[in-house]
Amino acid sequence: MPRPDCPKTNAIRCLEQAGVAFEVCLYAYEERGGTRVSARELGVEEHQVVKTLIMETDTKQPMVVLMHGDREVSTKQLARVLGVKSVHPCEPQVAQRHSGYLVGGTSPFGTRRSMPVYVEASILDLDHIYINGGHRGLLVRIDPQDLGRILDVTVVNVAIGETPT
């Protein structure tokens, strides 16, 4: 549950309202540090840190994509899965407008706008994940199965990168 020094974000409120068990993990945020820095600061595998990406189709339809920190999204494969011409990451100001969160603090929980959520299948196989809690330098540790309880997720296989051994 939240610590007294934890920012009360929309994501934290969403998790509390859904009755999800979570652990707050604060770390020293570094501009452009990404999941590499958060994993290092928390002493966890980068594969367990899930990044929340705001992307859009060629027709400007926004979506949330949840991906392992040590993987990239195959936008070509995602476009094929969605049956659209192309998918690309949103510009930071567009992502902020859709999500209500600053880039680097984007959470899939409590977004300003309701968007489809696509989760990489192998994320659901992990014992627990670290995902943004709606503020830079704030991750929450949750059971990945809770993603499907809180969000209407679609499971996809669009990761680029090798599976850890």
Q: Summarize pLDDT for 91-142 with one digit per residue, the tens.
A: 999 999 999 999 999 999 999 999 999 999 999 999 999 999 999 999 999 9
Q: Which domain holds residue 133?
A: 10-160
Q: How many domains does the chain have?
A: 1
Classified as helix, coil or strand, 5 is coil
In a domain, 51, yes or no: yes
State yes or no: pLDDT of 1 exceeds 50: no
pLDDT digits (tens, 9 = 90+) for 40-87: 999 999 999 999 999 999 999 999 999 999 999 999 999 999 999 999
Cα 63 from chain centroid?
11
- pLDDT at residue 90, as a whole number: 96
- At 165, the pLDDT band (50, 70, 90 cuts) reads very low
Q: Is residue 2 part of a domain?
A: no
pLDDT at 5 over 90: no
CB 73 within 8 A of CB 160: yes
What pLDDT is recorded for position 161?
A: 78
pTM, entire model = 0.94
Is 163 a residue whose pLDDT tops 90?
Answer: no
CATH of the domain at 82: 3.90.960.10
The owner of tokens 């809770």 is: 146
Question: For position 158, what pLDDT does the model report?
Answer: 97
Q: Is there a domain that residue 43 lies in?
A: yes
Q: In this predicted structure, what is the pLDDT of residue 4?
A: 55
Kindly indicate the confidence band of residue 32, based on its pLDDT and cuts at 50, 70 and 90: confident
Question: By the 8 A CB rule, do 53 and 89 touch?
Answer: yes
Residue 1 lies inside a defined structural domain of this protein = no
